[in-house]
Structure 1
Amino acid sequence: MSQYSFKHNEKLIHCLRAGDSQCFQFIFNELVEPLTAFIYTYTRDEALAEDIVQHSFMKLWEKRTFLDPQASLKTFLFTITHNRFIDLYRKDKKQVYLTDTIYMETVLETEELNEENLKPRLEQIDKAIESLPKKCREVFLLKREHNLKNREIAEYLGISIKTVEDHISRALRIIRQQVLGLLILILTSFFK
Protein backbone atom coordinates (compact mmCIF):
# COMPACT_ATOMS: atom_id res chain seq x y z
CA MET A 1 0.00 0.00 0.00
CA SER A 2 1.26 3.44 -0.91
CA GLN A 3 2.32 5.93 1.74
CA TYR A 4 0.58 8.65 -0.29
CA SER A 5 -3.13 9.33 -0.51
CA PHE A 6 -5.38 12.09 -1.81
CA LYS A 7 -7.23 11.80 1.49
CA HIS A 8 -4.20 13.59 2.94
CA ASN A 9 -4.00 16.38 0.39
CA GLU A 10 -1.96 18.68 2.63
CA LYS A 11 0.68 15.97 3.21
CA LEU A 12 0.86 15.33 -0.56
CA ILE A 13 1.46 19.00 -1.23
CA HIS A 14 4.14 19.23 1.47
CA CYS A 15 5.95 16.21 -0.04
CA LEU A 16 5.62 17.65 -3.50
CA ARG A 17 6.90 21.06 -2.36
CA ALA A 18 9.92 19.29 -0.86
CA GLY A 19 10.68 17.78 -4.28
CA ASP A 20 9.68 14.21 -3.42
CA SER A 21 9.79 12.45 -6.81
CA GLN A 22 7.94 9.38 -5.46
CA CYS A 23 5.09 11.64 -4.38
CA PHE A 24 5.03 13.19 -7.85
CA GLN A 25 5.03 9.71 -9.41
CA PHE A 26 2.08 8.71 -7.20
CA ILE A 27 0.12 11.80 -8.27
CA PHE A 28 0.98 11.17 -11.91
CA ASN A 29 -0.04 7.51 -11.75
CA GLU A 30 -3.32 8.32 -10.02
CA LEU A 31 -4.39 11.23 -12.20
CA VAL A 32 -2.90 10.75 -15.67
CA GLU A 33 -5.80 8.64 -16.93
CA PRO A 34 -8.64 10.72 -15.44
CA LEU A 35 -7.03 13.95 -16.72
CA THR A 36 -6.50 12.50 -20.19
CA ALA A 37 -10.09 11.23 -20.33
CA PHE A 38 -11.34 14.62 -19.12
CA ILE A 39 -9.46 16.66 -21.71
CA TYR A 40 -10.17 14.14 -24.48
CA THR A 41 -13.84 15.08 -24.17
CA TYR A 42 -12.79 18.52 -25.45
CA THR A 43 -10.07 17.64 -27.97
CA ARG A 44 -11.36 14.38 -29.46
CA ASP A 45 -7.67 13.84 -30.20
CA GLU A 46 -5.87 11.32 -28.02
CA ALA A 47 -2.35 12.55 -28.83
CA LEU A 48 -3.30 16.17 -28.14
CA ALA A 49 -5.01 15.19 -24.88
CA GLU A 50 -1.87 13.33 -23.79
CA ASP A 51 0.32 16.32 -24.70
CA ILE A 52 -1.89 18.67 -22.70
CA VAL A 53 -1.84 16.38 -19.66
CA GLN A 54 1.94 15.98 -19.90
CA HIS A 55 2.27 19.77 -20.02
CA SER A 56 0.02 20.01 -16.95
CA PHE A 57 2.23 17.67 -14.95
CA MET A 58 5.31 19.61 -16.00
CA LYS A 59 3.61 22.80 -14.77
CA LEU A 60 2.73 21.09 -11.50
CA TRP A 61 6.39 20.17 -10.97
CA GLU A 62 7.57 23.67 -11.94
CA LYS A 63 5.06 25.35 -9.60
CA ARG A 64 5.29 22.83 -6.76
CA THR A 65 7.09 25.21 -4.37
CA PHE A 66 4.26 27.73 -4.71
CA LEU A 67 1.40 25.31 -4.04
CA ASP A 68 -0.99 26.22 -1.28
CA PRO A 69 -1.19 23.27 1.16
CA GLN A 70 -4.86 24.04 1.73
CA ALA A 71 -5.76 23.88 -1.99
CA SER A 72 -7.04 20.75 -3.67
CA LEU A 73 -4.30 19.14 -5.73
CA LYS A 74 -6.84 17.43 -8.00
CA THR A 75 -8.67 20.68 -8.65
CA PHE A 76 -5.37 22.42 -9.35
CA LEU A 77 -4.38 19.81 -11.95
CA PHE A 78 -7.78 19.74 -13.64
CA THR A 79 -7.72 23.54 -13.80
CA ILE A 80 -4.22 23.65 -15.32
CA THR A 81 -5.25 21.01 -17.87
CA HIS A 82 -8.42 22.83 -18.84
CA ASN A 83 -6.62 26.18 -19.10
CA ARG A 84 -3.93 24.65 -21.32
CA PHE A 85 -6.64 23.34 -23.66
CA ILE A 86 -8.28 26.78 -23.76
CA ASP A 87 -4.93 28.45 -24.57
CA LEU A 88 -4.22 26.01 -27.41
CA TYR A 89 -7.77 26.29 -28.72
CA ARG A 90 -7.60 30.08 -28.80
CA LYS A 91 -4.20 30.05 -30.48
CA ASP A 92 -5.28 27.51 -33.09
CA LYS A 93 -8.60 29.23 -33.66
CA LYS A 94 -6.79 32.55 -34.09
CA GLN A 95 -4.40 31.00 -36.64
CA VAL A 96 -7.25 29.37 -38.58
CA TYR A 97 -9.18 32.63 -38.45
CA LEU A 98 -6.17 34.59 -39.70
CA THR A 99 -5.54 32.17 -42.56
CA ASP A 100 -9.18 32.08 -43.60
CA THR A 101 -9.60 35.84 -43.25
CA ILE A 102 -6.62 36.76 -45.40
CA TYR A 103 -7.54 34.21 -48.04
CA MET A 104 -11.19 35.27 -48.10
CA GLU A 105 -10.29 38.98 -48.17
CA THR A 106 -8.28 38.31 -51.29
CA VAL A 107 -11.12 36.42 -52.93
CA LEU A 108 -13.86 38.81 -51.77
CA GLU A 109 -12.04 41.80 -53.21
CA THR A 110 -13.10 40.30 -56.54
CA GLU A 111 -16.79 40.87 -55.80
CA GLU A 112 -16.44 44.41 -57.09
CA LEU A 113 -15.23 43.02 -60.40
CA ASN A 114 -17.63 41.65 -62.94
CA GLU A 115 -17.88 37.93 -63.62
CA GLU A 116 -15.70 38.25 -66.71
CA ASN A 117 -12.80 39.49 -64.59
CA LEU A 118 -13.46 37.13 -61.68
CA LYS A 119 -12.29 33.99 -63.48
CA PRO A 120 -8.80 35.36 -64.22
CA ARG A 121 -8.56 36.49 -60.59
CA LEU A 122 -9.35 33.03 -59.26
CA GLU A 123 -6.93 31.51 -61.75
CA GLN A 124 -4.30 33.96 -60.49
CA ILE A 125 -4.86 32.74 -56.94
CA ASP A 126 -4.31 29.16 -58.10
CA LYS A 127 -1.18 30.23 -60.03
CA ALA A 128 0.10 32.07 -56.96
CA ILE A 129 -0.38 28.92 -54.89
CA GLU A 130 1.41 26.84 -57.53
CA SER A 131 4.30 29.32 -57.57
CA LEU A 132 4.94 28.94 -53.86
CA PRO A 133 8.17 27.21 -52.82
CA LYS A 134 7.56 23.45 -52.59
CA LYS A 135 7.49 23.09 -48.78
CA CYS A 136 5.55 26.33 -48.36
CA ARG A 137 2.93 25.16 -50.89
CA GLU A 138 2.71 21.74 -49.25
CA VAL A 139 2.07 23.26 -45.82
CA PHE A 140 -0.45 25.77 -47.21
CA LEU A 141 -2.41 23.09 -49.08
CA LEU A 142 -2.48 20.80 -46.05
CA LYS A 143 -3.97 23.72 -44.12
CA ARG A 144 -6.36 24.93 -46.80
CA GLU A 145 -7.52 21.77 -48.55
CA HIS A 146 -7.22 19.20 -45.79
CA ASN A 147 -8.11 21.56 -42.93
CA LEU A 148 -5.31 20.20 -40.74
CA LYS A 149 -4.26 21.98 -37.58
CA ASN A 150 -0.76 23.42 -37.40
CA ARG A 151 0.25 20.75 -34.90
CA GLU A 152 -1.01 18.00 -37.22
CA ILE A 153 0.88 19.46 -40.17
CA ALA A 154 4.03 19.71 -38.05
CA GLU A 155 3.74 16.06 -36.99
CA TYR A 156 2.95 14.88 -40.51
CA LEU A 157 5.90 16.71 -42.08
CA GLY A 158 8.29 16.27 -39.17
CA ILE A 159 8.80 20.01 -38.68
CA SER A 160 8.13 22.41 -35.82
CA ILE A 161 4.82 24.20 -35.34
CA LYS A 162 6.72 27.50 -35.66
CA THR A 163 7.99 26.41 -39.09
CA VAL A 164 4.42 25.56 -40.11
CA GLU A 165 3.25 29.01 -39.00
CA ASP A 166 6.12 30.64 -40.90
CA HIS A 167 5.26 28.74 -44.09
CA ILE A 168 1.59 29.70 -43.85
CA SER A 169 2.41 33.36 -43.25
CA ARG A 170 4.85 33.37 -46.16
CA ALA A 171 2.32 31.66 -48.45
CA LEU A 172 -0.40 34.15 -47.61
CA ARG A 173 1.97 37.08 -48.13
CA ILE A 174 3.06 35.78 -51.56
CA ILE A 175 -0.50 35.00 -52.66
CA ARG A 176 -1.74 38.38 -51.54
CA GLN A 177 1.09 40.23 -53.31
CA GLN A 178 0.54 38.36 -56.57
CA VAL A 179 -3.25 38.62 -56.49
CA LEU A 180 -3.27 42.28 -55.49
CA GLY A 181 -0.84 42.93 -58.35
CA LEU A 182 -3.41 41.46 -60.74
CA LEU A 183 -6.20 43.51 -59.13
CA ILE A 184 -4.24 46.72 -59.67
CA LEU A 185 -3.63 45.70 -63.30
CA ILE A 186 -7.35 44.98 -63.83
CA LEU A 187 -8.48 48.19 -62.13
CA THR A 188 -6.04 50.38 -64.08
CA SER A 189 -7.35 48.82 -67.29
CA PHE A 190 -10.85 50.09 -66.35
CA PHE A 191 -9.61 53.68 -66.12
CA LYS A 192 -7.71 53.82 -69.43
Structure 2
Amino acid sequence: MSQYSFKNNEKLIQRLQAGDSECFQYIFNELVEPLTAFIYTYTQDEALAEDIVQHSFMKLWEKRTSLNPQAFLKTFLFTIAHNRFIDIYRKEKKQVYLTDTIYLETVLETEELNEENLKPRLEQIDKAIESLPKKCKEVFLLKRQHNLKNKEIAEYLGISIKTVEDHISRALRLIRKQVLIWLILILSDFFN
Protein backbone atom coordinates (compact mmCIF):
# COMPACT_ATOMS: atom_id res chain seq x y z
CA MET A 1 0.00 0.00 0.00
CA SER A 2 1.27 3.44 -0.94
CA GLN A 3 2.35 5.88 1.74
CA TYR A 4 0.65 8.62 -0.31
CA SER A 5 -3.06 9.24 -0.66
CA PHE A 6 -5.33 11.98 -1.96
CA LYS A 7 -7.41 11.41 1.17
CA ASN A 8 -4.69 13.36 2.97
CA ASN A 9 -4.32 16.20 0.50
CA GLU A 10 -2.55 18.51 2.94
CA LYS A 11 0.14 15.91 3.61
CA LEU A 12 0.65 15.42 -0.14
CA ILE A 13 1.19 19.15 -0.58
CA GLN A 14 3.64 19.25 2.34
CA ARG A 15 5.62 16.38 0.79
CA LEU A 16 5.60 18.13 -2.57
CA GLN A 17 6.76 21.38 -1.00
CA ALA A 18 9.66 19.47 0.56
CA GLY A 19 10.66 18.28 -2.93
CA ASP A 20 9.59 14.65 -2.47
CA SER A 21 9.95 13.26 -6.00
CA GLU A 22 8.24 9.97 -5.06
CA CYS A 23 5.19 11.95 -3.95
CA PHE A 24 5.22 13.80 -7.27
CA GLN A 25 5.50 10.45 -9.10
CA TYR A 26 2.48 9.15 -7.16
CA ILE A 27 0.42 12.22 -8.12
CA PHE A 28 1.51 11.88 -11.74
CA ASN A 29 0.66 8.16 -11.89
CA GLU A 30 -2.75 8.70 -10.32
CA LEU A 31 -3.82 11.70 -12.38
CA VAL A 32 -2.11 11.50 -15.77
CA GLU A 33 -4.80 9.34 -17.41
CA PRO A 34 -7.92 11.12 -16.08
CA LEU A 35 -6.34 14.52 -16.80
CA THR A 36 -5.41 13.51 -20.35
CA ALA A 37 -8.92 12.15 -20.95
CA PHE A 38 -10.42 15.39 -19.60
CA ILE A 39 -8.30 17.60 -21.88
CA TYR A 40 -8.84 15.30 -24.85
CA THR A 41 -12.58 16.05 -24.64
CA TYR A 42 -11.65 19.65 -25.53
CA THR A 43 -8.80 19.14 -28.00
CA GLN A 44 -9.87 15.98 -29.83
CA ASP A 45 -6.11 15.68 -30.41
CA GLU A 46 -4.25 13.10 -28.35
CA ALA A 47 -0.77 14.61 -28.83
CA LEU A 48 -1.98 18.09 -27.89
CA ALA A 49 -3.81 16.73 -24.84
CA GLU A 50 -0.62 14.95 -23.73
CA ASP A 51 1.43 18.15 -24.22
CA ILE A 52 -1.04 20.15 -22.14
CA VAL A 53 -0.98 17.53 -19.37
CA GLN A 54 2.81 17.43 -19.37
CA HIS A 55 2.87 21.23 -19.12
CA SER A 56 0.41 21.05 -16.21
CA PHE A 57 2.58 18.65 -14.24
CA MET A 58 5.65 20.80 -14.91
CA LYS A 59 3.74 23.81 -13.54
CA LEU A 60 2.75 21.82 -10.46
CA TRP A 61 6.39 20.98 -9.79
CA GLU A 62 7.52 24.58 -10.44
CA LYS A 63 4.89 26.02 -8.09
CA ARG A 64 5.08 23.31 -5.42
CA THR A 65 6.77 25.56 -2.82
CA SER A 66 4.06 28.21 -3.10
CA LEU A 67 1.07 25.84 -3.00
CA ASN A 68 -1.60 26.54 -0.45
CA PRO A 69 -1.73 23.50 1.89
CA GLN A 70 -5.54 23.68 1.81
CA ALA A 71 -5.65 23.60 -2.02
CA PHE A 72 -6.97 20.48 -3.69
CA LEU A 73 -4.26 19.05 -5.92
CA LYS A 74 -6.70 17.46 -8.35
CA THR A 75 -8.59 20.74 -8.78
CA PHE A 76 -5.33 22.66 -9.08
CA LEU A 77 -4.02 20.38 -11.85
CA PHE A 78 -7.29 20.27 -13.76
CA THR A 79 -7.50 24.08 -13.59
CA ILE A 80 -3.94 24.50 -14.88
CA ALA A 81 -4.66 22.11 -17.75
CA HIS A 82 -7.96 23.77 -18.64
CA ASN A 83 -6.38 27.24 -18.59
CA ARG A 84 -3.54 26.02 -20.79
CA PHE A 85 -6.06 24.67 -23.30
CA ILE A 86 -7.90 28.02 -23.30
CA ASP A 87 -4.64 29.90 -23.93
CA ILE A 88 -3.75 27.62 -26.85
CA TYR A 89 -7.27 27.84 -28.28
CA ARG A 90 -7.31 31.65 -28.15
CA LYS A 91 -3.87 31.85 -29.74
CA GLU A 92 -4.93 29.49 -32.55
CA LYS A 93 -8.17 31.39 -33.18
CA LYS A 94 -6.24 34.66 -33.46
CA GLN A 95 -3.68 32.98 -35.72
CA VAL A 96 -6.38 31.55 -38.03
CA TYR A 97 -8.10 34.94 -38.23
CA LEU A 98 -4.78 36.70 -38.88
CA THR A 99 -3.76 34.11 -41.51
CA ASP A 100 -7.11 34.45 -43.30
CA THR A 101 -6.85 38.25 -43.31
CA ILE A 102 -3.25 38.24 -44.55
CA TYR A 103 -4.13 35.71 -47.25
CA LEU A 104 -7.04 37.79 -48.49
CA GLU A 105 -4.87 40.93 -48.56
CA THR A 106 -2.13 39.03 -50.42
CA VAL A 107 -4.62 37.85 -53.04
CA LEU A 108 -5.60 41.46 -53.60
CA GLU A 109 -1.97 42.49 -54.02
CA THR A 110 -0.84 39.69 -56.38
CA GLU A 111 -0.71 41.95 -59.41
CA GLU A 112 0.32 45.53 -59.91
CA LEU A 113 -2.60 47.56 -58.65
CA ASN A 114 -4.08 49.72 -61.34
CA GLU A 115 -7.66 50.53 -62.11
CA GLU A 116 -7.82 48.05 -64.99
CA ASN A 117 -6.95 44.91 -63.00
CA LEU A 118 -8.25 46.06 -59.60
CA LYS A 119 -11.87 46.46 -60.70
CA PRO A 120 -12.48 42.78 -61.65
CA ARG A 121 -10.92 41.59 -58.39
CA LEU A 122 -13.04 43.94 -56.31
CA GLU A 123 -16.12 42.81 -58.23
CA GLN A 124 -15.22 39.18 -57.49
CA ILE A 125 -14.82 39.95 -53.78
CA ASP A 126 -18.19 41.77 -53.79
CA LYS A 127 -19.80 38.72 -55.43
CA ALA A 128 -18.20 36.48 -52.82
CA ILE A 129 -19.51 38.70 -50.01
CA GLU A 130 -22.99 38.74 -51.57
CA SER A 131 -23.03 34.94 -51.71
CA LEU A 132 -22.28 34.55 -48.00
CA PRO A 133 -25.00 33.05 -45.77
CA LYS A 134 -27.29 35.80 -44.44
CA LYS A 135 -26.06 36.01 -40.81
CA CYS A 136 -22.44 35.49 -41.82
CA LYS A 137 -22.70 38.32 -44.35
CA GLU A 138 -24.38 40.62 -41.84
CA VAL A 139 -21.62 40.07 -39.25
CA PHE A 140 -18.87 40.45 -41.87
CA LEU A 141 -20.29 43.73 -43.20
CA LEU A 142 -20.72 45.15 -39.69
CA LYS A 143 -17.06 44.35 -39.07
CA ARG A 144 -15.63 45.51 -42.41
CA GLN A 145 -17.90 48.36 -43.54
CA HIS A 146 -18.92 49.79 -40.19
CA ASN A 147 -15.67 48.99 -38.36
CA LEU A 148 -17.51 47.65 -35.32
CA LYS A 149 -15.64 45.63 -32.72
CA ASN A 150 -16.65 42.02 -32.12
CA LYS A 151 -18.20 42.95 -28.76
CA GLU A 152 -20.27 45.72 -30.39
CA ILE A 153 -21.48 43.35 -33.11
CA ALA A 154 -22.38 40.74 -30.50
CA GLU A 155 -24.40 43.26 -28.47
CA TYR A 156 -26.08 44.71 -31.57
CA LEU A 157 -27.15 41.31 -32.91
CA GLY A 158 -27.77 39.68 -29.52
CA ILE A 159 -25.27 36.87 -30.11
CA SER A 160 -22.09 35.78 -28.34
CA ILE A 161 -18.65 37.16 -29.18
CA LYS A 162 -17.57 33.61 -30.07
CA THR A 163 -20.40 33.39 -32.61
CA VAL A 164 -19.25 36.71 -34.10
CA GLU A 165 -15.69 35.37 -34.37
CA ASP A 166 -16.97 32.16 -35.98
CA HIS A 167 -19.00 34.12 -38.56
CA ILE A 168 -16.03 36.33 -39.45
CA SER A 169 -13.68 33.36 -39.80
CA ARG A 170 -16.25 31.55 -41.94
CA ALA A 171 -16.79 34.63 -44.12
CA LEU A 172 -13.06 35.05 -44.72
CA ARG A 173 -12.72 31.35 -45.55
CA LEU A 174 -15.61 31.46 -48.05
CA ILE A 175 -14.42 34.70 -49.65
CA ARG A 176 -10.87 33.39 -49.91
CA LYS A 177 -12.13 30.18 -51.53
CA GLN A 178 -14.21 32.01 -54.14
CA VAL A 179 -11.45 34.52 -54.93
CA LEU A 180 -8.94 31.70 -55.21
CA ILE A 181 -11.18 29.81 -57.64
CA TRP A 182 -11.58 32.99 -59.66
CA LEU A 183 -7.78 33.52 -59.74
CA ILE A 184 -7.20 29.93 -60.82
CA LEU A 185 -9.67 30.38 -63.68
CA ILE A 186 -7.98 33.65 -64.71
CA LEU A 187 -4.53 32.04 -64.60
CA SER A 188 -5.68 28.97 -66.54
CA ASP A 189 -7.09 31.26 -69.25
CA PHE A 190 -3.78 33.16 -69.24
CA PHE A 191 -1.68 30.01 -69.74
CA ASN A 192 -3.97 28.46 -72.39
Q: What range describes the TM-score normalised by the shorter chain of this pair?
A: 0.5 to 0.7
CA distance in 1 between partners of 2:122 and 2:13 (Å): 68
**Across the two proteins, how many residue pairs are aligned to each other?**
118
Task: Point out where structure 1 has 5 or more consecutive residues left out of the alignment.
Answer: 120-192
Mapping for residues 4-15 of structure 1, pairs under 5 Å: 4-15=4-15
Corresponding residue for residue 87 of structure 1: 87
Mapping for residues 51-62 of structure 1, pairs under 5 Å: 51-62=51-62
Corresponding residue for residue 16 of structure 2: 16
Q: CA deviation at 1:105?
A: 3.1
Corresponding residue for residue 67 of structure 1: 67
Corresponding residue for residue 32 of structure 1: 32
Q: CA deviation at 1:90?
A: 1.1
CA distance in 1 between partners of 2:98 and 2:68 (Å): 40
Q: CA deviation at 1:78?
A: 0.2
CA distance in 2 between partners of 1:117 and 1:56 (Å): 48
Letter in 1 for 2:63: K
Corresponding residue for residue 77 of structure 1: 77
TM-score (norm 2): 0.57
Q: CA deviation at 1:92?
A: 1.5
CA distance in 1 between partners of 2:50 and 2:121 (Å): 52
CA distance in 2 between partners of 1:12 and 1:117 (Å): 64
Task: Point out where structure 2 has 5 or more consecutive residues left out of the alignment.
Answer: 125-192
- Worse overlay, 87-96 or 16-25: 87-96
Residues 12 and 23 of structure 2 are in contact (CA less than 8 Å); yes or no, is this contact kept in structure 1?
yes
CA distance in 2 between partners of 1:54 and 1:116 (Å): 48
SS at match of 1:70: coil
RMSD of equivalent CA atoms: 2.2
Letter in 1 for 2:50: E
Aligned-residue sequence identity (percent) comes to 82
Structure 1 segments, 4+ long, off by >6 Å, are: 116-119
